[in-house]
């Protein structure tokens, strides 16, 4: 008997739906093993991760606070991934968006104008797009690999952030902490309910999701991008511009990441500081894949990862787990998902060898 | 030298396949195949594309293993689980795509699989070459050899082992007509020395000329085993496709010489691919109401020419006016703009270029027919897409599971019919097809050719790149021959013979040395 890994004739729709659940299940099993080895309480840990986040209203609003930026960035990244344009630097685009938006309250400290917030939104979007445009330009002009360029631009963006926070933009009254002034109320999104951090910026990811769904499912532009990803020669034959696809998907991701970065500094954080991204730019890559690059799947995936983030915070306190536990769990989900996804296009088959007569010539 | 023991053809079979079945996920490629090959005979495997010929050969050469059934060698069961096992028995195979390293010399290539010093091997290569009229210079680099010479190297490599059975996969498909006869002479000599030859082809005339027996495959099963000399080509074809072959009706046509719809004047293109062919000083014209062919052995610049005309490659260094379509300069225009002028193109690769494999036919219509009202302000008009696709399916007899069927689920011939149908539904003034009937069954190929003739009569200008000379002779009014990126002068098809075309394919100046049988560089 022999096992053979062979290509399926058609994609398996069942596997496509089952893959994220298989990935989560396997990650849970492996986590249990890790917890046992580390001598941490298993039940308490899983309670912290999956039950505790839903136990009170505040905690639920916190889930949606994380859900917003993850959803926004993941939707945009998925568009690019379907066109096989690998922007993994949403983190950097988010940082630049936040920096660009923060310039307004930093330089107009005393302003109470109603235009503060709109100006920040526009600058945040433009900042993220400008950072992504560098990668698009280098790719279309010199065929520089966008994976490397976007990744390295993230490092540059972070250094720029640190420079501003330690130098020109440092809060003069801030006891030398690397952060800007706290923004005035006019530069912050109003909260949805009193006493919670969840604010009106949650509307951006929701509107963006609808727009992306329409674009990818119902629009000629989305079709062109998908053709470029699935069959580049067919896109060339049809005359779809690959340069436009690179520019379009990178600018879209820059736009989304910029808005997400802006929403963080003008939302829960209220100032520009070092850890303002919370790693959303990277987590969004996992969200995009866990959602099978499908606009609707991504909504669920973003929610799941948001729960995981909140649960990680709870587990930090209640089960004494290190914060890296969340990252390990996220990493496991991605690895298992990608492995399970292989079975969407391939299958294992048991092969019975042909009966071998005695006089066989050995090879 | 092969050790040859003269055996008469009616003794026990050398290789026998008994009830061999091999299934792939999508298709049963071989279904209970029985086959006997005798020493000293040339046995043809005849069948359309997809009939299971290649799978059968791979089974005989140990490339794939059968799911069930038995392979006998001199009436004893053998286990052919690798090509090494097959070679050990004395089986050699020449694939359609050669397995030679282009940067190495002939003797270096052969020394990779044969023991012995290069000097000794070179002597043996020359000896075998002389014995069978398969002349090659052992010291020549493979990249400098013509396709025919490379094929000789492959055959010599097989002959240098103790060869009992030689398998040839469509050996003539890559050869100009002149080289076919010298190949056949060598094969007959091999047969007379007692070697069994399995000869795979879909060309009926050459099987009748060369082979002693023929197994005809249809849909993975043996349709008949016959003596091809006793059958007419028509009878063989009927056995091969299972019903009578349709005929293309040719009619006299009216060419409007005042209306060139495609003109290339002195275009030169440097290939972006380091192994590609540069186009040199191409002059070509196609008028309304005529079909113009481009003949040539593959790899002589056909790819580059087709990308240049389709607009997939825009040559920015060329003069503004050197490519004209419908009397407008299009040199700097991309594929979309050329299509809007009334140009349509059927590329040679169906999956991945002419169609997006995992997408539905309906979405594949959108690839080039988006201007047929398929979107309004960018938003897709699904009913219109489906209607257009349904029309293509019905009009061109595309066998498929409906407008939502994925392109990959269609057979090669049906997908080609769909793509041709889609492009014709654009109602082009200028139609360009590259290898329009490659891998397409006879019925579909005839239907496509008939369509082209009808379109020509309706005043469409048609350009066809094809390696099938018979096809070009059947439908074209004029032909050009492409060789090393240069185009021959225009030839009127009815005034030339396949041999004349062949001269251009191999370059006239080499004519003398080729007919002399010696090697040409």
Q: Indicate if the pLDDT at residue B406 is higher than 60.
A: yes
Question: What's the CATH number of domain B15-241, 2.40.100.10, 3.30.70.360, 3.40.50.300, 3.30.465.10?
Answer: 3.40.50.300
Tell me if ipTM is over 0.90.
Answer: no
| Average pLDDT of every residue of chain A | 91
Q: Return d(Cα A85, Cα A77) in angstroms, integer.
A: 9
Interchain contact, B355 vs A363, CB within 8 Å: no
Q: How many domains is chain A built from?
A: 1
The pLDDT score that the predictor gives to residue B478 is 94
Interchain contact, A230 vs B357, CB within 8 Å: yes
Let me know if the fold of B15-241 is the same as that of B247-342+428-521.
yes
Mean pLDDT for B328-353 is 94
CATH superfamily assigned to domain B247-342+428-521: P-loop containing nucleotide triphosphate hydrolases (3.40.50.300)
Structural domain includes residue A319: no
pLDDT band at A345 (very low <50, low <70, confident <90, very high): confident
Structural domain includes residue A354: no
Interchain contact, B25 vs A359, CB within 8 Å: no
Q: Indicate if the pLDDT at residue B512 is higher than 60.
A: no
Domain boundaries defined on chain B: 15-241, 247-342+428-521, 354-427
Q: Write the pLDDT tens digit of every residue in A113-135.
A: 999 999 999 999 999 999 999 99
A250: containing domain: 67-297
Structural domain includes residue A28: no
Q: Which of A11, A353, A360 comes nearest B78 by C-beta?
A: A360
- DSSP H or E segment with residue A320: none
Mean pLDDT for B348-354 is 90
Q: Write the pLDDT tens digit of every residue in B415-436.
A: 989 999 999 999 999 999 998 8
Taking any CB pair shorter than 8 Å as contact, residues of chain A touching chain B are 6-11, 218-221, 223, 227, 230-231, 233-234, 236-239, 241, 353-354, 356-357, 359-363
Structural domain includes residue A344: no
- DSSP H or E segment with residue A207: helix A203-218
Structural domain includes residue A23: no
Q: Write the pLDDT tens digit of every residue in B139-172.
A: 988 888 877 888 889 999 998 888 999 999 888 8
Residues B214-236 as b/e (b if ≥16 CB within 10 A, e otherwise) read bbbbbebebbeebebeebeeeeb
Chain B, 337 to 356: residues with Cβ < 8 Å from chain A are: 337, 339, 345, 347, 349, 352-356
Q: Indicate if the pLDDT at residue A243 is higher than 60.
A: yes
Higher pLDDT, B242 or A224: A224
pLDDT band at A357 (very low <50, low <70, confident <90, very high): very low
The pLDDT score that the predictor gives to residue B250 is 65
Q: Return d(Cα B304, Cα B290) in angstroms, integer.
A: 23
Q: Return d(Cα A96, Cα A150) in angstroms, integer.
A: 13
Structural domain includes residue A82: yes
Neighbours of B342 (CB within 10 A): 17
Q: Write the pLDDT tens digit of every residue in A51-83.
A: 999 999 999 999 999 999 999 999 999 999 999
Q: What is the DSSP string of B403-444?
A: TTSBGGGS-HHHHHHHHHHHHHTT--SEEEEESTTTT--HHH
pLDDT band at A327 (very low <50, low <70, confident <90, very high): confident
The pLDDT score that the predictor gives to residue A362 is 41
The pLDDT score that the predictor gives to residue B419 is 95
Q: Return d(Cα B396, Cα B401) in angstroms, integer.
A: 14
Structural domain includes residue A72: yes
Interchain contact, A236 vs B345, CB within 8 Å: no
Using CB atoms within 10 Å of the CB of residue B17, give its burial: 0 to 12 exposed, 13 to 18 middle, 19+ buried. buried
Structural domain includes residue A59: no
B284 touching A (Cβ < 8 Å): no
Interchain contact, B65 vs A353, CB within 8 Å: yes
């Amino acid at each position: 008997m022999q096992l053979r890994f062979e290509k399926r004739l058609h994609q398996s729709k069942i596997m496509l739906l089952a893959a994220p659940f298989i990935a989560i299940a396997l990650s849970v099993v492996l986590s249990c093993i890790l917890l046992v080895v580390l001598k941490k309480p298993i039940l308490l840990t899983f309670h912290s991760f999956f039950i505790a986040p839903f136990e009170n209203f505040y905690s639920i609003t916190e889930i949606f606070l994380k859900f917003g930026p993850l959803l926004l960035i993941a939707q945009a990244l998925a568009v690019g991934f379907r066109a096989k344009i690998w922007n993994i630097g949403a983190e950097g685009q988010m940082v630049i968006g936040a920096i660009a938006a923060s310039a307004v309250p930093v330089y107009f400290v005393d302003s109470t104008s109603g235009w503060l917030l709109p100006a920040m939104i526009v600058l945040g979007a433009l900042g993220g797009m400008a950072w992504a445009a560098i990668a698009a330009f280098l790719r279309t002009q010199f065929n520089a690999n966008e994976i490397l360029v976007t990744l390295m631009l993230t490092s540059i963006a972070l250094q720029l952030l640190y420079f501003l926070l330690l130098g020109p933009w440092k809060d003069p009254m801030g006891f030398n902490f690397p952060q800007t002034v706290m923004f005035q109320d006019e530069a912050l999104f109003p909260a949805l309910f009193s006493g919670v951090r969840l604010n009106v910026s949650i509307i951006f990811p929701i509107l963006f999701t609808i727009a992306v769904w329409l674009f990818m499912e119902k629009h000629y532009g989305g079709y062109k991008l998908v053709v470029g990803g699935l069959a580049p020669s067919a896109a060339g034959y049809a005359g779809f511009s690959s340069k436009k696809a690179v520019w379009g998907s990178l600018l879209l991701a820059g736009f989304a990441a910029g808005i997400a970065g802006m929403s963080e500094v003008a939302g829960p954080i209220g100032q520009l500081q070092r850890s303002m991204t919370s790693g959303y730019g990277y987590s969004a890559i996992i969200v995009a894949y866990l959602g099978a690059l499908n606009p609707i799947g991504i909504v669920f995936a973003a929610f799941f990862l948001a729960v995981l983030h909140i649960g990680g915070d709870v587990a930090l306190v209640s089960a004494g787990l290190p914060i890296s536990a969340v990252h390990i769990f996220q990493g496991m989900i991605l690895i298992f998902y990608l492995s399970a996804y292989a079975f969407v296009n391939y299958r294992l088959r048991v092969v019975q060898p042909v009966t071998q007569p005695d006089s066989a010539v050995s090879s | 030298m092969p050790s040859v023991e003269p055996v008469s053809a009616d003794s026990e079979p050398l290789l026998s396949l008994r009830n061999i079945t091999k299934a792939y996920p999508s298709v049963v490629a071989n279904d209970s195949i029985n086959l006997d090959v005798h020493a000293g005979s040339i046995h043809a495997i005849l069948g359309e594309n997809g009939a299971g010929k290649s799978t059968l050969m791979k089974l005989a050469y140990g490339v794939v293993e059968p799911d069930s059934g038995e392979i006998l060698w001199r009436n004893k069961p053998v286990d052919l689980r690798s090509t090494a096992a097959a070679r050990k028995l004395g089986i050699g195979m020449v694939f359609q795509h050669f397995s030679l390293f282009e940067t190495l010399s002939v003797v270096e290539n052969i020394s990779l699989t044969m023991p012995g010093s290069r000097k000794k091997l070179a002597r043996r290569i020359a000896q075998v070459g002389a014995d069978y009229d398969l002349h090659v210079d052992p010291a020549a680099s493979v990249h400098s050899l013509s396709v025919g010479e490379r094929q000789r190297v492959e055959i010599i490599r097989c002959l240098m082992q103790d060869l009992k059975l030689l398998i040839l996969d469509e050996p003539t498909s890559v050869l100009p007509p002149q080289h076919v006869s010298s190949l056949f002479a060598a094969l007959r000599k091999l047969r007379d020395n007692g070697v069994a030859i399995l000869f795979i082809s879909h060309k009926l005339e050459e099987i009748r000329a060369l082979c002693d027996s023929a197994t005809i495959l249809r849909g993975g099963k043996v349709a008949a085993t016959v003596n091809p000399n006793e059958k007419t080509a028509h009878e063989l074809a009927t056995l091969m496709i299972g019903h009578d072959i349709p005929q293309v009706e040719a009619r006299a046509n009216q060419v409007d010489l005042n209306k060139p719809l495609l003109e290339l004047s002195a275009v030169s293109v440097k290939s972006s691919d380091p192994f590609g062919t540069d186009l040199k000083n191409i002059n070509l014209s196609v008028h309304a109401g005529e079909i113009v062919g481009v003949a040539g052995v593959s790899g002589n610049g056909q790819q580059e020419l087709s990308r240049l005309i389709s607009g997939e490659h825009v040559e920015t260094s060329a003069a503004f006016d050197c490519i004209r379509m419908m009397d407008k300069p299009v040199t700097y225009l991309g594929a979309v703009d050329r299509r809007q002028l009334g140009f349509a193109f059927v590329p040679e690769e169906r999956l991945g270029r002419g169609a997006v494999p995992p997408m539905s036919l309906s979405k594949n219509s959108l690839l080039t027919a988006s201007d047929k009202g398929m979107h309004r302000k960018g938003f897709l008009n699904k009913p219109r897409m489906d209607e257009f696709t349904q029309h293509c399916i019905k009009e061109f007899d595309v066998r498929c599971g409906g407008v939502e069927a994925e392109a990959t689920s269609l057979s090669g011939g049906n997908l080609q019919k769909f793509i041709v149908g889609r492009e014709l539904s654009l109602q082009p003034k200028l139609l360009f097809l590259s290898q329009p009937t490659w891998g397409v069954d006879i019925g579909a190929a005839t239907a496509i050719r008939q369509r082209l003739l009808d379109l020509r009569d309706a005043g469409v200008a048609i350009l066809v790149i094809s390696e099938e000379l018979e096809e070009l002779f059947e439908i074209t009014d004029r032909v050009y021959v492409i060789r090393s990126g240069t185009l021959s002068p225009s030839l009127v098809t009815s005034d030339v013979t396949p041999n004349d075309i062949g001269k251009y394919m191999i370059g006239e100046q080499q004519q003398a040395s080729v007919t002399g049988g010696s090697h040409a560089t």
